Homo-oligomer: A and B are copies of this chain.
Amino acid sequence: MEKRDVAVLGVGQTKFGHHPDKSLIDLFAEAFYEAFNESNIELKDIQAIYYGNFVGEMTDGSANLSGFISDEIGLKGIPARRYEAACASSSVAFREAYLAVAHGIYDCVAVGGSERLYNAGTAIGTRALATAVDGLHEMTAGLTFPGVFALAARLYAKKYEIPMEKLHEKMAHVSIKNHKYGAINPKAQFYNKFGDLKVEDVLNSKVICSPLTLFDCCPMTDGGSAAIIASADFAEDVIDNPVYVLGTGQSGAGGLFRQKEDMIKAIPRKISVEMAYKEAKVTPKDIDFVEIHDCFTIAEIIASEAMGFFEYGKGADAVEEGETWVGGSIPINPDGGLIGKGHPVGATGTSQVYAAVKQLRNEFKYNQVKDAEICITDTLGGDFGTLVNIILGIHRRK
């Protein structure tokens, strides 16, 4: 059964930060209407909703949100689904929406996500985030996410024989870069903040879970993001600037104790990204920039390796040497990433799509990557429980 090309009609994203007065539904709706308003379609063209949220039941007492969302945005009664895949929730939703349109289940759908972790506070937020690891063996042993990635950093230092202090200096450049880019992005949580960090600022910030310090970590964030996608033929009829979905991949893994040293090689990411490259008929060399899941500085480094941009063990050097900055060989997170822009978990995946689409349309005036034609996004749910990659481009798949 043939599949057809799919394109993004419009994208939306709320300001990331603290939204005490907006519900999960409000945040999705705000992002949805931004996406809808640039899509040049009527509301009735939208046949279904794909929504990602991680822990609305814990932060807001709100599960089962799909029906409420369709009601709120004026599409009462249409089929709406909620996906939960920790930080990859709206990336899974986006991929499912893409598959549904590509295979003719629908012609035009809305996708997005929202989350309120800042508003939940650090205690509830940390408890909620910890449910994305193995609830039975890892969380009960006290493992939360800074712990997972502190382990990753130590494993990386050991395996590639880099002294931990030296590695931390290299990691600091991820924070410096992403904060610099977040500080110039008006929708970022840290807009106008931390734009001039130095290595010592990162190393000397508060220890969260050694070796990780405060500036190694992304923040707790409230926010929403959305996209409208449709068949490429439909898209070309209604807008002048479709961005095409060239390929997607998804994989996952069980608990850390089964991953062992594979953890820093991120095997599920390898499976997912190769699935996406294969479908898109591209290689890492064809990619012009990347949206990577930098929940912690070390996370961006190991992702850049598993995605094929650097050899294993060389990603930390690459950021220090400027390869992943705008102007370098493969710019990563020109929107500030999770560290600079913020990480409203269920909204993060489609906010990467938002940033990618704006760049590919040459509309990302704050930090435009020149002549960008193809982008890959990468979203990590939990400690490799879910991995999703999405490849977007300005031309149809060959």
Q: Are A84 and B86 in contact (CB under 8 A)?
A: no
Q: Are A67 and B386 in contact (CB under 8 A)?
A: yes
Task: Give a binary string over A26-68; 1 marks a CB under 8 Å from any B CB, 0 the rest.
Answer: 0000000000000000000000000000111110111111111
Q: Is A94 positioned at the interface, with any CB of B under 8 Å from its CB?
A: no
User: Which residue from B25, B60, B68, B81 sits with its C-beta under 8 Å from A92?
Assistant: B81
Partner of A253, one of B2, B76, B96, B267: B76
B254-A64 in contact (CB<8A)? no
Q: Is A381 an interface residue (CB 8 A)?
A: yes
Tell me whether B64 and A258 are in contact (CB under 8 A). Answer: no
**Interchain CB contact under 8 A, A57 and B57:** yes
Size class of the contact patch on chain A? 35 or more
**CB of A123 closer than 8 Å to a CB of B:** no
A64–B131 contact, CB under 8 A?
yes
Q: Does A251 contact B (CB under 8 A)?
A: yes
A83 interface hit (Cβ, 8 Å):
yes
How far does the alpha carbon of A187 sit from the alpha carbon of B394 in the complex, in Å? 55
- With a CB–CB cut-off of 8 A, which chain B residues contact A139? 61
How many angstroms between the C-alpha atoms of A252 and B103 in the bound complex?
A: 24
Q: Annotate A122-145 by CB proximity to B: 1 below 8 A, 0 otherwise.
A: 000000101111111001100000
Known: A64-B132, A66-B85, A67-B384. A271 touches B77 (CB 8 A): yes
A99 contacts B by Cβ under 8 Å? yes
User: Please, which residues of chain B bring their CB within 8 A of the CB of A63?
Assistant: 54-55, 84, 86, 131-132, 135, 382
**Quick check: B81 and A96 within 8 Å, CB to CB?**
yes
Q: What residues on B are CB-neighbors of A131 within 8 Å?
A: 56-57, 61-64
**In the assembled complex, A70 has its CB within 8 A of some CB on chain B:** yes
In the complex with contacts A66-B385, A84-B82, A268-B67, A135-B253 CB distance below 8 A = no
Q: Does A211 contact B (CB under 8 A)?
A: no
A71–B104 touching, CB < 8 Å: no
Q: Any chain B CB within 8 A of the CB of A186?
A: no
Interface string of A1-39 (1 = CB under 8 A from B): 111100000000000000000010100000000000000
Q: Which residues of B contact A96 (CB under 8 A)?
A: 81, 96
Q: Is A78 an interface residue (CB 8 A)?
A: yes
A76 and B135 form a contact (CB under 8 A): no
Which parts of A72-111 form the interface with B (CB within 8 Å)?
Answer: 72, 76-86, 92, 96, 99-100, 103-105
**Contacts A58-B58, A82-B85, A135-B62; A67 near B382 (Cβ below 8 A):** yes
Most B C-beta atoms less than 10 A away, residue of A61, A250, A384: A61
Residues of chain B within 8 A (CB-CB) of A313 are none
Taking a contact as CB atoms under 8 Å apart, the answer to whether A1 and B104 are in contact is yes
Question: Which residue of B66, B84, B103, B135 contacts A103 across the interface (Cβ within 8 Å)?
Answer: B103
**Closest chain B residue to A136, Cβ basis:** B23
Minimum CB–CB distance for A82 against chain B, Å = 5
14 residue pairs bridging A and B, Cβ less than 8 Å apart: A1-B4, A1-B104, A55-B63, A56-B135, A58-B58, A63-B135, A64-B86, A70-B252, A70-B254, A71-B254, A77-B271, A78-B251, A80-B386, A82-B84
Smallest CB-CB A-B distances: 6 pairs: A67-B252, A71-B254, A1-B104, A62-B135, A61-B135, A64-B86
